[in-house]
Chains A and B, each alone.
Chain A
């Protein structure tokens, strides 16, 4: 028998292509002992299998992805025991989720085995790690990941950060609820060198990203500003204008009380009643911009005669 004539060779090739195509779509075959291959997983978990294939994790041409390696079992672990028990036993496989029973460090270790990079180098010791959060607390791998989209990111964060959800609807707030600013514009949820997991190294540097006009340096500086924007402002939302923690004039009077007569300094010390038309004429110190009606350069002034932050 001629083992492979010209026509036979073509038919063998056809056979190869027909069968090979079916398996080419699936992940790479088992990578070690106890691995069964993704096509076995797909028999029961068809929907999850189909969801992940077109995603980034499913791109076989990228050698870093799970499906360029051992497929489903790259992340979930060897599936032989689970398969042989027809799903009744987990068999040491990793199930991701807050209540999966798998230790957070084990779940996260799987993700970090690929995603441990400079964006996650502060994960250990971070606030979220200290709270035993797992990656799947926020991320979705088999479905569209809402936390990676600007329009829906805040919804994911505020599912735990309830106070920020309320803050973003206060009288004065950053446009978080409209999706134009998101939590990750300022914060790194995976941990960061900055305070409160800010991406920037200091609170002020974070604010200057969008408010560079406040950066200076100015000829006449206002100490609470250079010390930290959060001395007077609260970033997520406030009942007071301009995200202030309290309103002027009282906010300013908490740091400015003078002594000695003359030079009109009484206007700083006096308790400010709100009574229109009174001879002592307090309404110009309370209404409109309050102290900022005159002292408008509250973040600092570069005018040579601006020591009183009026110019």
Chain B
């Protein structure tokens, strides 16, 4: 090599060495990177039409469907980036996301999501005008599908004003449309004027509720992220708009001739608005002590014009034209987290929540349904408010490298207006013991107990049985416990076991919910015998039981009937992934079985067991096979097959006709549970670039 060239290269190396030692924040921008990512396209096939199978995924129709998904990232000029992804673009469950930014300076995003929700396609309705706010008697039962779809578009940006200051803005709008069901009560013509009306004179019809709702949200904030302090001041807003303010229907006499002619009307969800300002922050007092805080104030408003009392006859004058509803919501929180010793962590948190309902009160006539019959008594609306104080204290202590314990206490004080109980106080004590028994074995034991006391129980409704206690207000003793074991005999094998128990007792509740309990058991196994094989299996059992008491007697007496609930769900999962085990092939198989059982049994006193409700059953089997053939370094052929079988039985709908026998008086939907047996295939090409 030329001596001069060597000398010059050596000089170059010296210069590089000097230059490198001064690099860091002044590193020049790197060269642009080509786009990376993948695109997947192909076709799929669904063997049968089923609302149940396609409930959320957009695959409800038999036939061929397009497969199109992608992910890509471009770095046109690092640190600039452009990321885009799309999923299920050929289906109604599609989503598309684009993000562009300059890393360290700003980021922007645009996102679109579509979410179908299919409920049933086996229902019937006697109405014409489905999808609108006025339903008329069609003269015969018509097939009815109930489904809604949400379309959501969101956009936003974040901008780093200076290294520690950032502003953020997000705006989102969602439109939800379709049909759901709603019950309408009908007076069947009995009784006279003066307001008396027996329940036998009230019938009902399940109707298609038109859904055309738009929710617009925004969230704007400014943040400070310093070395020791972080603060955020944010404003959020949410505006709900309902295209339909009422649903009016013509009594479907053609299906149920006993009903009188006439119309009924009910109010649909009114437009409402919500604004909230929140200031939250955190400060590191010392290297081991942090304080956090929150202050927020919000306002929920609703001022939609009232409907008339009745559309039958002359409607009495309303006390006001609209609600002018205003509910102020406040929250304040102060927290302290500290590590006074290397082995000890302590946390303390105080939280205050308030719902201050400033909605005006007025006396409203009570028109029984749309009968034109006015009850002799007026009803005054009750603007519900509450104030809640919560104090949480806990200490986490490391006894040794193998033992750690936690002791915690929580106090919750709730005050309510217009409630059966003015004040609840709940004390909770909890403890956890963790043991790192061996290098391959960890165990944990959790116990907690709480006692909730209610102040004098004074029912707001003078007609309420004085022995009844509403479970969310009543005295309650709660005991919880759980154990967890994690065993890893090898780095390739982990076995986890957990069992949790919950017992709630309502000692002062002569009527209402008296007991509730939960038993949850989980086993989880993950095994990777070789790097190319991953196996997993899990089992979960979840059993919830509860007992309640009621009184047929209506006269402040002891209970004379009971009802017991038992909901048990067993879930089993098995799966295996084989990567490169066979030349060029990756294969996966996944099986899941979920079995749900719900039982209700009732008895009257003296002991007389009633026929139990039929068991609600929900058996879901899903088998998923997937394979990828590596055609080349950048191209894969991907295959997938899903078999899903759902066998559902629900006594509330299965075999229940539209017109109930034995006296009728209600028109239901006549739909059945969404059983299905569906196979779906997919063949696609995935290009990686």
Q: B-contacting residues of A (Cβ < 8 Å)?
A: 8, 11-20, 23-24, 28-29, 31, 54, 56, 59-65, 68-69, 99, 105, 116-118, 121-122, 124-125, 130, 132, 150-151, 162-163, 165-167, 169-171, 175, 178-180, 193, 201-202, 205, 208-210, 212-221, 223-224, 226-228, 231, 238-241, 245-247, 250, 253-267, 269-279, 281, 283-284, 286-290, 292-297, 301-307, 310-311
CA distance A260 to B4 in the complex (A): 112
Q: Is the CB of A277 within 8 A of B661?
A: yes
Q: Is the CB of B610 within 8 A of A304?
A: no
Q: Is the CB of A213 within 8 A of B326?
A: no
| A170-B596, A175-B115, A294-B183 as given contacts; A216 in contact with B23, CB under 8 Å | no
CA distance A28 to B466 in the complex (A): 76
| CB-defined A-B contacts under 8 Å, sample of 5 | A11-B4, A16-B15, A205-B329, A217-B359, A287-B651
Q: Which residues of A contact B238 (CB under 8 A)?
A: 208-209, 212, 215
Q: Is the CB of A169 within 8 A of B594?
A: yes
Q: Is the CB of A64 within 8 A of B104?
A: yes
When the two chains form the complex, which single residue of B183, B215, B472, B542 contacts A166, counting CB atoms closer than 8 Å? B542
Who on chain B is nearest to A215 by CB? B272
When the two chains form the complex, which single residue of A23, A62, A162, A170 contacts B104, counting CB atoms closer than 8 Å? A62
Stretch from B129-137, B261-269, B629-637, B680-688 contacting the other chain:
B261-269
Q: Is the CB of B554 within 8 A of A180?
A: no
CA distance A201 to B296 in the complex (A): 9
| A60-B27, A163-B522, A264-B199 as given contacts; A294 in contact with B204, CB under 8 Å | yes
| A169-B592, A254-B513, A294-B183 as given contacts; A212 in contact with B381, CB under 8 Å | no
Q: Is the CB of B663 within 8 A of A202?
A: no
| A227-B472, A288-B668 as given contacts; A269 in contact with B596, CB under 8 Å | no
Is B403 engaged at the interface, CB distance under 8 Å to the other chain?
no
Q: Is the CB of B365 within 8 A of A255?
A: no
Q: Is the CB of A180 within 8 A of B113?
A: yes
Is B493 engaged at the interface, CB distance under 8 Å to the other chain?
no
CA distance A221 to B382 in the complex (A): 8
Q: Is the CB of A162 within 8 A of B538?
A: yes
CA distance A24 to B563 in the complex (A): 75
Q: Is the CB of B12 within 8 A of A259?
A: no
Is B341 engaged at the interface, CB distance under 8 Å to the other chain?
no
When the two chains form the complex, which single residue of B163, B309, B466 contacts A259, counting CB atoms closer than 8 Å? B466
Q: Is the CB of A260 within 8 A of B463?
A: yes
Would you call the interface of chain B mostly helix, strand, loop, or mixed?
strand
Within 8 A of A (CB), among B19-61: 19-21, 23-25, 27-30, 33, 36, 55-57
**Apart from A118-B280, A218-B325, A241-B652, what are 17 other A-B pairs with CB-CB below 8 Å?**
A16-B16, A61-B27, A62-B104, A118-B231, A121-B281, A132-B404, A201-B331, A215-B272, A217-B272, A218-B302, A223-B416, A238-B567, A239-B618, A254-B471, A259-B465, A270-B552, A279-B663
When the two chains form the complex, which single residue of A19, A193, A295, A304 contacts B183, counting CB atoms closer than 8 Å? A295
CA distance A21 to B602 in the complex (A): 81
Who on chain B is nearest to A220 by CB? B381
Q: Is the CB of B23 within 8 A of A264?
A: no
Q: Which residues of A contact B573 (CB under 8 A)?
A: 165
Q: Is the CB of B668 within 8 A of A170?
A: no
CA distance A85 to B23 in the complex (A): 28
Is B429 engaged at the interface, CB distance under 8 Å to the other chain?
no
Q: Which residues of B contact A117 (CB under 8 A)?
A: 223, 225, 230
Q: Which residues of A contact B223 (CB under 8 A)?
A: 117-118
Q: Is the CB of B565 within 8 A of A305?
A: no
Q: Is the CB of A165 within 8 A of B103?
A: no
CA distance A294 to B187 in the complex (A): 11
Within 8 A of A (CB), among B317-353: 318, 323, 325-327, 329, 331, 333, 335, 337, 339, 345, 347, 349, 353
Q: Is the CB of B538 within 8 A of A165?
A: yes
Q: Is the CB of A304 within 8 A of B365?
A: yes
CA distance A110 to B10 in the complex (A): 39
Q: Is the CB of A231 within 8 A of B183?
A: no
